[in-house]
Amino acid sequence: MYAHEWMQGTKVDLPVGKVVCIGRNYVDHAKELGNPVPDEPVLFLKPQTALVGTSGDLVLSDRLAPIHYEAELSILIGAGLSHATEANARQAIAGIGVALDLTRRETQSALKQKGLPWELAKAFDGSCVQSPFIPFAHELKSIRYGLDVNGEARQRGDTHLMITPVVELLCHLTKYFTLLPGDIVLTGTPKGVGQLHDGDTLALTLEDETLAHFSCVSAP
């Protein structure tokens, strides 16, 4: 059962809530998938049941394969937000981490072509892999994070390259979704997304610190 954790291994005293995700928040990522750069943030949700931690192996269901990774800076919300101001949004950030927005890319493409919602591609059980969090005490203008696969750098993100910056994102999405303590916001993925395979070893990094290291295993 997933629970929020701090990097030092202690539990975060917050409930597990929903995950609000931002699509296409990096120009290069939109281009690599052949998507237009949006005029405003693309929003979608993952339920509590999508969340898994990084203390054990990442199980890839053969039934849902192929599954692709998208590394994202994640924001842990510590106070309720609705129609937030920038000051409110900053004060509500309890911690930051790195997450994987797991995606059934072929399914997503088929759903998009039919004009259908993305839940089957984005919101399945285990589709949000969340690292431990670091208490928030950062300058949000330039936070670097990344994903290594089998010792090779695959994705490198930096908040200064985001189309919509973190605090502005929080203000925008709280016009539509109330954020509650324990909710998580994924802020968009940089270029370099790709498919996961059985036996892959993954490392999630934040400001050159490794937050999580784990392996992929396939299951029926």
The predicted pLDDT at position 95 comes to 97
Closest CA to 40 of 157, 141, 175: 175
In a domain, residue 30? The reply is yes
In a domain, residue 201? The reply is yes
What does pLDDT average to over the chain? Answer: 95
The predicted pLDDT at position 35 comes to 75
Of 23-32, 60-69, 110-119, 165-174, the range with the lowest mean pLDDT is 23-32
Number of H helices, E strands in the chain: 5, 15
In a domain, residue 5? The reply is no
Position 218 pLDDT exceeds 70: yes
Position 30 pLDDT exceeds 70: no
pLDDT one-digit tens code per residue, 135-145 = 998 889 899 99
State the CB neighbour count (10 A cutoff) for residue 15.
12
What is the pLDDT averaged over residues 186-204? 97
What is the pLDDT averaged over residues 62-70? 96
- d(CA 87, CA 99) in angstroms, rounded, equals 25
Position 43 pLDDT exceeds 80: yes
What is the pLDDT averaged over residues 179-184? 98
In a domain, residue 76? The reply is yes
Containing domain of residue 208, as a range?
A: 19-219
- d(CA 43, CA 23) in angstroms, rounded, equals 6
pTM: 0.95
Band of pLDDT at residue 65, cut at 50, 70 and 90: very high
In a domain, residue 10? The reply is no
Provide the percentage of residues in the chain whose pLDDT is more than 70: 100
Closest CA to 211 of 112, 150, 95, 132: 132
Closest CA to 124 of 146, 108, 148: 108
pLDDT one-digit tens code per residue, 70-127 = 999 999 999 999 999 999 999 999 999 999 999 999 999 999 999 999 999 999 999 9
- d(CA 169, CA 61) in angstroms, rounded, equals 32
Closest CA to 52 of 8, 87, 1, 12: 1
In a domain, residue 6? The reply is no
In a domain, residue 7? The reply is no
CATH number of the CATH domain containing 121: 3.90.850.10
- Split into its structural domains, the chain has a count of 1
In a domain, residue 1? The reply is no
